[in-house]
Chain A
Amino acid sequence: MKLWPLLRRLIPVGSVGLILLITTLVWASPERLFTSLTGYDPLSLEEQQTAYTLALAHDQVQSLIRGQRTAVLLVERHDEPKSVTQFGSWARRADVYVYNYNQDQLLHVLVDLSARTVSAVETLQEVQLPLTEAEVAAAYQRVLADPVAGGALRRQFQAVTGAALDQPEQQLKYRALIFRASAMPDVPLGAAAECGRRRCAQLLIATQGDVLIDLLPIVDLSADRVASASGFFSPEAQP
């Protein structure tokens, strides 16, 4: 009974404090509490996960990727044409792209997130999306392991730093972009002549100290081999 007078005072104080806390949270981040994604909004992580799951569970997709060397390259909002957007609202849909390295096919799965169904499945040739982080790392490892390309890289590193390349992970940094033979039809491409139809990565390498390595090796990810040890530029820079 003695507690009641104290409680009677604490309840309003607590209520006011709670209200102030809620208003502060609401003010700080209203989108998290109130926003539902719509229109041109990019996919949320949840939507990406849903699209990915629905796409890979689809029978036709399963039949296309079963037993094949594949990688999911991208899950992104489906860019609706203006014939759809002109009406002012449209369903949330996602594109899921899976690459089949064995067949050199890009599998495009269109997922209707609202209906939670797969709307369309198509296979595309000679369509190369930007490289994933895993593909870039795999290309770099392939160059390091290759006697010719790895040797050229070690010689270049020695030339520009005066040190031996014995701990590549600590000594080098790398990035990569898609290489297509059609970009340079006037140079002898050798094994890289099929790039574009096949999925190829051209590496950009520098030391951790930001000194450029004058090599642009190309890795054929479809064949899992080095297609060019140095890229295609002036002969004096060739190993």
Chain B
Amino acid sequence: MKRPRFTWAGLAVVAAAWLLLVVGARWTAAQSSGNCSATYKVDMTLPTGARWTMCWEPRLNEGIVLHDVTFTPPGGTARLVLAQASMAQIHVPYDDNGARFHDVSDYGLGGDRLLDLAPADCPSGTLLADQGKDMLCRTTVNRGYAYKHASTQLQGYALNLFSVSKIGEYNYIVEWTFSDDGAIEPAVRATGQLQRTGANPDYGWPLDSLNSRFGIAHTHNYYWRLDFDVDGSANDVVEEIDFTPSPTRNSWTLNVNELGTEAGRQVDATAFRFWRIKDSSVENADGHPISYELLPESSNVFRGPAYEPFTQNEFYVTVYNACEQWASHNPTSGGCGENLASFVNGQSLSGADLVLWYGVAFHHLPIEEDEIYMNAHRTAFTLRPRDWTADNPLANAGSGGPTATSPPTLTRTATPTATATRTSTATATATLTAGPAGTATATLTPTATQATGSNDVFFFVLLPVVRR
């Protein structure tokens, strides 16, 4: 038996094969799938097996706009959730009526307002760029217990995306969190520095030892436009769900009311009110229509003057109209409404393509600690599946059976600290025919992995063995 002998020709063949393999793989990864190219696509399979895909686009007014948001539960079916999602206004009226800003329409969250993020802004995440500007941070975050029962527990994970828009002295961190249980949490964190101070104690809080300079109180009314297409735009229906107490208030009756025409509705925390959008023709295995519900956040409620009618409700459902973009100061050319209140004009929702709008208020009475840098204040609400599946699709990912996509294991040490360690191993083998000179076998061993989709760095060590 001849001893294998190294030859340059053999190595060149292996290198050529390597070239084909790498170029082919990266070409495939870079091709567009869906309605955007790889640069503007997020495709994240979380450690528990749930998958989120979407396209992102920077726009001058809205900042980052998300398109075609699709959720696949572990082992389940990929379904479209949102055709488009974005901020629709940040309305900032000051308590002294000295300024009433409408930031999305009048300042813009995009363009040069979108900050170029440094790696330090996005620790353990990946920065996504448009034209060389790193403007979106994509991270996988551990969200703690997905559930815990008896001896079973599961650590849940989420895809987190955020951008930062500098608006005056403020920085708005616009954030979207997509969890492995299907929940979506739109959020804004307000930080930076105070925009206005004054001398009138009726409208502010003292910020100096002389009690002469007051941080003027104001409200951040955040509005989102959520163009839901539950498994497509057809057959979507919106229901308002709340509860009526009995006369003695010792029992509560469930009310489910389908909204028949465009509507603006108020939060009602005392009635546990929320809304859902369901597809009336697509059912889960139990025969129940799939839906997403909007769980409101109502610790602050802002009701403004008559000339701000859009502040009279928090929740709106409208028939899709391409010109209806922003909650206020919407362009009126072509007969379009100027704000949410005028979008609601009696159109029937039956058989229509529906858009949900939601607003959350954060009333900010400054504190001395706001200077010199305001700690980020987070305002958020939740969208989550209701009956998307017939039972919990994360149930099989619990601590009973670790798999190749098992979540990080928590290692308890003798000290009071705990260390989260991500473990992942996989081996790919490729057999490459090298022509008359012989056969080349390349063993590909990943030395580092990141569960962040097909475009992330995935290094292989090539071990060529050539024989004559």
B148 within 8 A of A: no
**Is there an interface contact between A233 and B97, defined as CB atoms closer than 8 Å?**
yes
Interchain CA distance A124-B334 in the complex, whole Å:
9
B145 within 8 A of A: no
Q: Which interface residue of B94, B112, B333 has the most chain A CB atoms within 10 A?
A: B333
Interchain CA distance A49-B98 in the complex, whole Å:
41
**Is there an interface contact between A204 and B195, defined as CB atoms closer than 8 Å?**
yes
Determine which of A9, A35, A127 lies in contact with B30 in the assembled complex, contact meaning CB atoms within 8 Å: A35
A169 within 8 A of B: no
**Is there an interface contact between B107 and A177, defined as CB atoms closer than 8 Å?**
yes
A175 within 8 A of B: yes
**Is there an interface contact between B26 and A30, defined as CB atoms closer than 8 Å?**
yes
User: Which residues of A are at the interface with B, using a C-beta cutoff of 8 A?
Assistant: 9, 12-13, 15-16, 19-20, 22-23, 26-27, 30-31, 33-42, 44-45, 74, 76-77, 79, 81-83, 85-86, 88-89, 124-130, 133, 175, 177-180, 182-187, 202, 204, 206, 210, 212, 214, 216, 231-234, 236-237
How far apart are B198's CB and chain A's nearest CB, in angstroms? 6
Chain B residues with Cβ below 8 Å from A83 are 322
Flag B14-32 by CB within 8 Å of A: 1 or 0 each.
0110110011001101111
Q: Which 5 A-B pairs have the closest CB atoms?
A: A233-B98, A39-B35, A130-B108, A12-B8, A81-B322
Interchain CA distance A231-B26 in the complex, whole Å:
55
**Is there an interface contact between B331 and A212, defined as CB atoms closer than 8 Å?**
no
B96 within 8 A of A: yes
Interchain CA distance A13-B206 in the complex, whole Å:
73
Chain A residues with Cβ below 8 Å from B372 are 210
Chain B residues with Cβ below 8 Å from A36 are 32, 37
Chain B residues with Cβ below 8 Å from A185 are 307
Taking residues whose C-beta sits less than 8 angstroms from the other chain, chain B's interface range is: 35 or more
**Is there an interface contact between B196 and A41, defined as CB atoms closer than 8 Å?**
no
Determine which of A23, A37, A183 lies in contact with B102 in the assembled complex, contact meaning CB atoms within 8 Å: A183
Determine which of A9, A27, A45, A214 lies in contact with B198 in the assembled complex, contact meaning CB atoms within 8 Å: A214
Determine which of A41, A42, A180, A186 lies in contact with B97 in the assembled complex, contact meaning CB atoms within 8 Å: A186
How far apart are A151's CB and chain B's nearest CB, in angstroms? 19
Chain B residues with Cβ below 8 Å from A79 are 59, 322
Chain A residues with Cβ below 8 Å from B332 are 126-127
**Is there an interface contact between A130 and B94, defined as CB atoms closer than 8 Å?**
no
**Is there an interface contact between B168 and A204, defined as CB atoms closer than 8 Å?**
yes
Interchain CA distance A45-B59 in the complex, whole Å:
14
**Is there an interface contact between A40 and B11, defined as CB atoms closer than 8 Å?**
no
Determine which of B65, B131, B199, B320 lies in contact with A237 in the assembled complex, contact meaning CB atoms within 8 Å: B199
Chain B residues with Cβ below 8 Å from A234 are 96, 98, 198-200, 203
How far apart are B131's CB and chain A's nearest CB, in angstroms? 6
Interchain CA distance A20-B94 in the complex, whole Å:
60
**Is there an interface contact between A30 and B67, defined as CB atoms closer than 8 Å?**
no
CB under 8 Å from chain A, chain B span 12-64: 12, 15-16, 18-19, 22-23, 26-27, 29-32, 34-40, 55, 57-61
**Is there an interface contact between A231 and B34, defined as CB atoms closer than 8 Å?**
no
**Is there an interface contact between A38 and B307, defined as CB atoms closer than 8 Å?**
no
B9 within 8 A of A: yes
B297 within 8 A of A: no
With A124-B333, A185-B307, A231-B98 as given contacts, are A31 and B61 in contact (CB-CB < 8 Å)? Answer: no
Interchain CA distance A128-B103 in the complex, whole Å:
13
With A19-B19, A82-B322, A88-B35 as given contacts, are A130 and B106 in contact (CB-CB < 8 Å)? Answer: yes
Flag B99-135 by CB within 8 Å of A: 1 or 0 each.
1111101111001100000000000000000110000
Complex A-B: 22 CB contacts under 8 Å: A12-B8, A12-B12, A22-B23, A26-B23, A27-B26, A27-B457, A30-B38, A35-B31, A39-B32, A39-B55, A39-B67, A40-B40, A79-B322, A83-B322, A130-B106, A177-B103, A177-B167, A183-B102, A231-B99, A232-B99, A233-B97, A236-B200
